[in-house]
Amino acid sequence: MVQLYHHPLDPQSRFIRLALAEYGVEPELIEERIFERRHDFLALDPAGEVPVLITDHALTVPGANVIVEYLDDVLGETLAEQRLLPHDPEARVEVRRLVTWFAQKFYGEVSNWLVTEKVYKRFMPAEAGGGAPDMDLVRAARANIRYHLRYIGYLTAQRNWLAGDSMTYADLAAAAHVSVADFLGDVPWDENEAAKLWYARVKSRKSFRALLADRVPGISPPAVYADLDF
């Protein structure tokens, strides 16, 4: 059986969960707290980062970018014209550019700070950096997300989806990162209607249902998190 080492509020893990669901693959989810640096997990991936996919052939596929390329190699054709990484080389460049944008820029400026400060530090021992959140970083993330919402709104005003006419990995990656901030109540949805409408479209997909059901001990998402008509 396919296994996915993940954390419920890790955006890259959420990206892969969405991609797997779009392909119709239901993995066994194994929650991994990467800050614990477990020996057995490090043996799977010395980088010590989630997500890590274990295929039904016992192949270890580490990291979101490697996983989505692998999934396209083995399952991409099954989606025909709805392929999440398009056939056209130029279109593939744009999808990969946007996936990288959210994996690096959005993560570095928004989701990493929110998850680390508001989630991970709750469960980390003090000697490992756990404790109260650094609110300066949280405020910086809240300010930065406005810029990213404007960019999403700009793209969707020009195109049907973020990277073009069809939904792709770019939309799943973006929605995964936005969903973490949404879970934590840090998305100012009233500031960009175009971004909100795009997110509602992705959020309404069947693949998103499991993410909307996620819960973390001690943290309750706002009511709009699971509301499809937010």
Mean pLDDT of 190-204: 97
Domain range summary for the chain, segments of one domain joined by + = 3-82, 89-211
Top pLDDT among 192 and 230 is at: 192
Whether residue 187 is predicted with pLDDT greater than 90 in this model: the reply is yes
For residue 160, what pLDDT is reported?
Answer: 95
Q: Which residues, 6+ apart, have CB-to-CB distance to 186 below 8 Å? A: 114, 138, 141, 142, 145
Question: pLDDT per residue over 103-114, tens digit each?
Answer: 999 999 999 999
In the chain, helix, strand, coil percent, each to 5?
Answer: 60, 5, 30
Which residue, 20, 6, 10, is CA-closest to 172?
A: 20
Please state the pTM of the whole predicted model. 0.96
Which residues neighbour 217 within 8 Å (Cβ) at sequence distance 6 or greater? none
pLDDT in tens, 56-82: 999 999 999 999 999 999 999 999 989
- Can you read off the two tokens belonging to residue 174? 């973006």
To the nearest whole percent, how much of the chain has pLDDT over 90? 93
Is the pLDDT assigned to residue 41 strictly greater than 90?
yes
Distance CA 50, CA 43 (A): 13
At 135-178, the pLDDT tens digits run 999 999 999 999 999 999 999 999 999 999 999 999 999 999 99
* Overall fold of domain 89-211: Glutathione S-transferase Yfyf (Class Pi); Chain A, domain 2 (1.20.1050)
Percent of the chain with pLDDT over 70: 100
pLDDT band with cut points at 50, 70 and 90 for residue 17: very high
pLDDT beyond 90 at 229: no
The residues pairing with 29 across neighbouring beta strands, listed in sequence order, are 4
DSSP 10: -
Instruction: Give the burial class of 55: count Cβ atoms within 10 A of its Cβ; 0-12 exposed, 13-18 middle, 19 or more buried.
Output: middle
pLDDT at 127: 87
* Fold (CATH) for 3-82: Glutaredoxin (3.40.30)
pLDDT at residue 86 is higher than 90: yes
Mean pLDDT score across all residues of the chain: 96
CB 70 within 8 A of CB 21: no
